[in-house]
Amino acid sequence: MNKKTMAASMAAVLLGGLVAGCNDNAPKGGDAGGDTKKPITFTWLVYDRPEGKVKNDWEIFKEIEAKTGVKVDWQVVSQEGLLEKRQIMIATNTVTDFIQPTNQEARENGPEKVFLNLKDYLNIAPNLKKFYDAYPEAKAVATGADGGIYNVPVLEGDAQGKGFNYIWMARKDLMNKYNLKAPATLDELYQFLKTLKEKEPDSYPLSLNAPTTGEAGLYTVFGKIFTGIAGFYNQSPASDKYEFAPYQKGYKDALVYMNKLYNEKLLDPEFYLLTGPQWEERFLKGKSSVTYWWKAEVNPLIEKAKKAGAPAEFDLDSIPELGASGIKPYQFSRPVVGTVGRAISAKVKDKERAVKFLDYLVSEEGTNYLSLGIQGKSYTLENGKPVYMKEFGASPYVPLRRDFGVWYDNMTLNNALSRETWERGLDEKSKAINKNYESFIIPAPKAIVKTTEELDLEKSKLTPLTKFLEQRITEFVTGKAPINDTTYQQFLDQAKKLGSDELLNMYNAAYKRTYGSK
């Protein structure tokens, strides 16, 4: 592996004191055929969350130990050091018994005998088998080149593809004050922003959080509005084909529209320079009033604004997704399958016992412990459905993680269940926002599996291409470069020189190879 030399030289320092998985490479079977509740301990790499440090006395793991006989020996690192620690462990084949690699790391290093091939144990793991059958995408991204299955990907979105993250939000109090209705078209958005500027002349109505090319960034949001493609590269919602947004009819119109907003001071003039804290400060202090951001931040932003001295009537609400003429407004749901998953060390001492433990964690009972906690203590049932305790408030993940170890990174396997449970207990405003956006949400594209050559191509081409695109688009939007047929063609020509066609062909080839075509 290409990281081994670097990693080995650092291992003595960076791995000092960390107990890795046992090195006894016993043949499959061991003594696990006997009492499956016989006490056993497995090591597990995790990090301390800001909400609360990892604890050895969380009740859910006491319950899990009582059911399985398995005690977890947490190997705790800092959040900042987790990535490096994991990469070095993988490169030196010293991973803990349980660990959360990326799907790519699992696929690439499983055949190198770093991770256990779960496919060899599905006959004793009915819940794992059921999981892979129910989520073929999870199986695809966990499968190595040798056909082995090397991790259990974390579920992020509901199988129906309805869970989502972002909304357009605006100052509801200002809309009421100036008798403004929510814009439903781009012309209406322009007039909406123009009126807010006239009524609040010291503000720049529209301000989106950095980076401009992020999921909620200015260029991503308006690129999708005008072309239907979310980001520079993504699947068209009308097909399973990947597209390059700047090639689409309408992308130049997006530049013209953003430039118009910039010139008329309807868009924050420092939009491409703002840090997250700077964006938030301007929004909370009334220097901007329209944005595209996490839906879960509506209530926290209102609370922060009032604490920062905003008027008592300060309020936020959603406004609809937008689409240019001929473009249907939409937002991709959260991906059903995440980019990381649970793996077992190939060197774990008792392989069958480890697999059976992972199988239990994937079961309904194990999933409920990790994603919900203890009924009556961390959640209750309402109409037969789990809801987190009301006293946990609008941010239940804080006490859940701190006091119960529930919904905790590198432990839970089903974030989708946790989010669904959280949203079931939301206040009426948040439920109304979800309802208002229901019609816009469509299932996210499935993850693709790339070969080593494709990954090398992406690594060499995507970053310089993205840097060029961001720089040139900023010049167009801020007026430093004119927008016309000649300059736009030059823009596309340079993108091609930097590999836009090669990347586009690669994404489509990888998708077709992973899933076939419709």
C-alpha dist (Å) from residue 85 to 47, 76, 457: 11, 10, 26
Distance between CA atoms of 504 and 236, rounded to whole angstroms?
Answer: 12
How many degrees, rounded to 5, is the angle at CA 138 between CA 516 and CA 402? 155
Residues 84 and 14: beta-carbon distance below 8 Å: yes
pLDDT exceeds 60 at position 29? no
478: Cβ contacts below 8 Å, ≥ 6 apart: 259, 262, 272
Distance between CA atoms of 358 and 32, rounded to whole angstroms?
Answer: 14
pLDDT exceeds 50 at position 140? yes
Lowest-pLDDT range, 72-81, 158-167, 232-241, 507-516?
Answer: 158-167
pLDDT band at 35 (very low <50, low <70, confident <90, very high): low
Residues 79 and 49: beta-carbon distance below 8 Å: yes
Share of the chain above pLDDT 90, in %: 86
- CB count, 10 Å around CB of 30? 16
Q: What is the model's pLDDT at position 158?
A: 83
3-state secondary structure (DSSP) of residue 93: coil
Distance between CA atoms of 124 and 147, rounded to whole angstroms?
Answer: 19
Round the average pLDDT of the chain to a whole number and report it. Answer: 92
| Mean pLDDT score, 226-245 | 95
Task: Provide the β-strand partners of residue 124.
Answer: none
- Mapped to the 3 state alphabet, what secondary structure does 234-247 carry? EECCCCCCEEEHHH
Q: What is the model's pLDDT at position 517?
A: 59
| Mean pLDDT score, 67-92 | 97
- CB count, 10 Å around CB of 234? 21
Q: Is 497 exposed, middle or buried (0-12, 13-18, 19+ CB in 10 A)?
A: exposed
Residues belonging to the chain: 518
In whole angstroms, how large is the CA radius of gyration of the chain?
Answer: 25
Distance between CA atoms of 360 and 362, rounded to whole angstroms?
Answer: 5
| Mean pLDDT score, 427-434 | 92
| Mean pLDDT score, 188-198 | 98
pLDDT exceeds 50 at position 227? yes
Distance between CA atoms of 289 and 301, rounded to whole angstroms?
Answer: 12
Q: What is the model's pLDDT at position 5?
A: 41
Residues 114 and 95: beta-carbon distance below 8 Å: yes
pLDDT exceeds 70 at position 323? yes
| Mean pLDDT score, 483-488 | 98
| Mean pLDDT score, 474-497 | 98
pLDDT exceeds 90 at position 516? no
**pLDDT tens digits, one per residue of 379-390:** 999 999 999 999
